[in-house]
Amino acid sequence: MGCEVVVAGVEPERVAAVLERWEAAFSLFRAESELSRVNRSQARVVVVSELFASALRVALDAVAASGGLVDPTLGVGWGDVSLSGRLLSRPPGRLLDLNGVVKALAVDDAAGLVEDGGFVSVGGDLAVRGAVDVGLPGGGAVRVVEGGLATSGTASRGSHLIDPRTGRPSRSRWSQVTASGASCLEADVAAKAAYLLDADGPDWLDGRGMPGRFLGEDGEPVLNASWFAATAERAACT
Partner 1 sequence: MSRTSRIEAAYARARGAKLALGVLTSLVFGVAFVGARSHAPGHAKHRARQLGAPSSFVRAVRRSALQAGKIAPPVQPPAVVTSTS
**Of the residues 72, 137, 201, 202, which one makes contact with partner 1 according to CB under 8 A:** 137
**70, 63 contact by CB (below 8 A):** yes
The neighbouring-strand residues paired with 214 are 177, 222
Of 110, 187, 203, nearest in space to 152 by CA: 187
81 is a site residue for partner 1 (CB under 8 A): no
Q: How far is the CB of 5 from partner 1 (least distance, A)?
A: 10
Q: Of these, 15, 48, 96, 142, which contacts partner 1 (CB under 8 A)? A: 142
With CB under 8 A as the contact rule, the residue among 15, 18, 55, 60 that binds partner 1 is 60
CA 103-106-108 angle, to 5 degrees, is: 110
Binding letters toward partner 1, positions 28-47, x by CB under 8 A: --------------------
Angle between helix 99-111 and 12-26 (nearest 10): 150
Stretch that binds partner 1, among 17-25, 43-51, 62-70, 90-98 (CB under 8 A): 62-70
- Residue 115 in the binding site for partner 1 (CB under 8 A): no
Near partner 1 by CB under 8 A: residue from 20, 80, 115, 146: 146
Q: Least distance in Å: CB of 42 to partner 1? A: 26
Coil, helix or strand for 91? coil
Query: For partner 1, which is the closer residue by CB, 37 or 231?
Result: 231
Q: Rule CB under 8 A: is residue 211 a binding residue for partner 1?
A: yes
Cβ-based nearer residue to partner 1, 41 or 118: 118
| C-alpha torsion 20→21→22→24, nearest 10 | 80
Q: Other C-beta atoms within 10 Å of 4: how many? A: 9
- The residues, any chain, with a CB within 8 Å of residue 181's CB and separated by 6 or more, are 147, 148, 149, 150, 187, 188, 189, 190, 210
Instruction: Give the span between the Cα atoms of 222 and 218, in whole angstroms.
Output: 11
Residues found near partner 1 in the complex (CB under 8 A): 3-4, 6, 8, 57, 60-62, 64-65, 103, 119, 121-126, 131-137, 141-157, 176, 178, 180-183, 186-187, 189-190, 208-211, 226-227, 230-233
